[in-house]
Amino acid sequence: MKVCIAGGGIGGLTAALALQKKGIDSVLYEAKDTLRAAGAGIWMSSNSIKMMDHLGISRQFLNIGIEMKEIVVEDGSGKIISSISMEDVKKKHVYAIHSVKRQSLHELISGHIESKRIVTGKKIKSVKQNNNNIILQFEDGSADECDVLIGADGIRSTVREEVNPGIPLRYSGQTCWYGLSAMTLPEERKNKTTEIWMGKLRFGFTEVNQGQVYFFAVEKSPSGIQFQGDRSRHLLDMYKSSPSIIKSILSHAKSEDIIKSDLYDIKPFIPLAYGRTVLIGDAGHATTPNLGQGAAQAMEDGVLIAELLSKKSPEAAVKRFEIMRKKRIKHIVKTSWRMGQIAHGENFLTKNIAQSIMRMTPEAINLKMMDRILTPVFP
């Protein structure tokens, strides 16, 4: 059996490493000339670290990530809306959330994949699926054949468009600016994932290593607005009435390192299985980042599809994958979407009611809600 993987993001790399460990012949095709993580920092939850256990890289990851002690959500005045202790999470799920630079995670996974299994500068032009194989045509005129195709090429997936054209993306009404800031957080802010909700605006941050803070700044905004100018100054002006910690983080960020991205998802559920082709990660179930589960779900996909392909025929493995993932994916995407809408509530009455309910919700209830998110289907 030969498996082709389209896309060198976290999901594609996870699938490649998982297939390698199963002894399955595979090749990953990345459209860009180099493997490069799209983004700045990331929060990795316990279910994603369990996937790293399965891949044999969790110990190395724990050495490069920073363990969090608490998840905190505040309002603009500094009052706590919600908090969850990571010690309680670890008791049931083994691992706390860890923050890390995206590129560091990217390099960790790719560094364990045999070089012959990764080909860069190869953008797929078309996919032709027969009864017994799949033929890939690339934009450079070359081609390849395989028994299974894993589409891991992101939210604007070429593979998805080939097997199921016209799937619409759903705009959340929110735009995210994110990057790294050259500073150290004050002691009371260390080892926490912090979000500050301010109605139209939201801001999150955490340290990813000594001297660097990952941040994201989310605003309610129409999609497709182009920005030219100093991004750091623009954000400082946008957040001029925000808490001082936000202004400190933004003042230490370089404009050229700040990325702007409109937040979309794919309204669940679209099929993931198409004969011998399967969609994983954002290609099949893109989610808004409000639960911090995008990369984690892509990793779950990669580990599961490799396991199934090691035991079943291509068509049976792909179909079983869809069945096993459907319920979990629908829950993650829907919950993340709903959380984003709550976080950016601007109406005074509804915003205060929602926040009051969150403040009154016992931590035990919050932990129970997290259990479903942090419990993978496999392994």
Given a cut of 90, whether residue 306 has pLDDT beyond it is: yes
The answer to whether residues 83 and 224 belong to one domain is: no
Residues in contact with 167: Cβ distance below 8 Å, sequence separation at least 6, in sequence order: 160, 161, 266, 270
Does 280 lie in the same domain as 361? yes
Q: Which helix (H) or strand (E) holds 160?
A: helix 158-163
Question: Domain boundary at 264, 283, 302, which?
Answer: 264
**Do both 97 and 29 map to the same domain?**
yes
Same domain, 34 and 148: yes
- Is the full-model pTM beyond 0.85? yes
Tell me, what CATH number does 127's domain have?
A: 3.50.50.60
- For residues 147, 128, 300, 99, the Cα torsion angle rounded to the nearest 10 degrees is 120
The amino acid sitting at 334 is: K
* Structural domain contains residue 297: yes
pLDDT above 80 (res 362):
no
Helix H or strand E segment including 278: strand 277-279
Q: For residue 238, what is the domain's CATH number?
A: 3.30.9.30
CA R_g for the chain = 21
pLDDT in tens, 111-121: 999 999 999 99
Residue 285 lies in a domain: yes
Domain of residue 106, residue span: 2-169+265-374
| pLDDT tens, position by position, 327-354 | 999 999 999 999 898 887 666 555 566 6
Whether the bond between 269 and the residue before it is cis, its omega within 30 degrees of 0, is yes
The answer to whether the beta carbons of residues 13 and 28 sit under 8 Å apart is yes
Domain boundary among 219, 237, 264: 264
> DSSP label at 342?
H
What whole-number distance in Å separates Cα of residue 308 and Cα of residue 302? 10
Same domain, 42 and 162: yes
In degrees and rounded to multiples of 5, residue 211 shows phi and psi of: 95, 5
| pLDDT over threshold 90, residue 356 | no
Residue at a domain's end among 264, 298, 319: 264
Q: Is residue 92 part of a domain?
A: yes
Residue 234 lies in a domain: yes
280 with 235, same domain: the answer is no
Could you tell me if residue 133 is inside a domain? yes
Please report where in the chains the tokens 């009404």 appear, as a residue: 173
Q: Tell me, yes or no, whether 318 lies in a domain.
A: yes
Number of domains in the chain: 2
Q: Assess whether 129 and 9 both reside in one domain.
A: yes
Angle formed at CA 303 by CA 302 and CA 308, multiple of 5 degrees: 100
Q: Are residues 37 and 96 in the same domain?
A: yes
Q: Which residue type occupies 51?
A: M
Which runs of E-coded beta strand occur in the chain? Answer: 2-6, 25-30, 41-44, 66-67, 70-75, 80-85, 98-101, 118-120, 124-129, 134-138, 143-146, 148-151, 170-181, 192-198, 201-209, 212-220, 259-265, 273-274, 277-279
Residues 52 and 78 in one domain: yes
For residues 253 and 281, membership in a common domain is answered with no
**Span between the terminal Cα atoms of the chain, in Å:** 23
Residue pair 127/277 in contact (Cβ under 8 Å)? The answer is yes
Bridge pairing between strands 170-181 and 212-220: antiparallel
379 falls within a domain: no
Q: What is the pLDDT of residues 13-58, one digit of tens each?
A: 999 999 999 999 999 999 999 998 877 999 999 999 999 999 999 9
Q: To the nearest 10°, report the CA torsion of 214, 218, 224, 225.
A: -90
pLDDT of 37 reads 85
Q: Residue 109 is encoded by which pair of tokens?
A: 């996974």
Residues 275 and 250 in one domain: no
Is residue 156 domain-shared with residue 256, that is, in the same domain? no
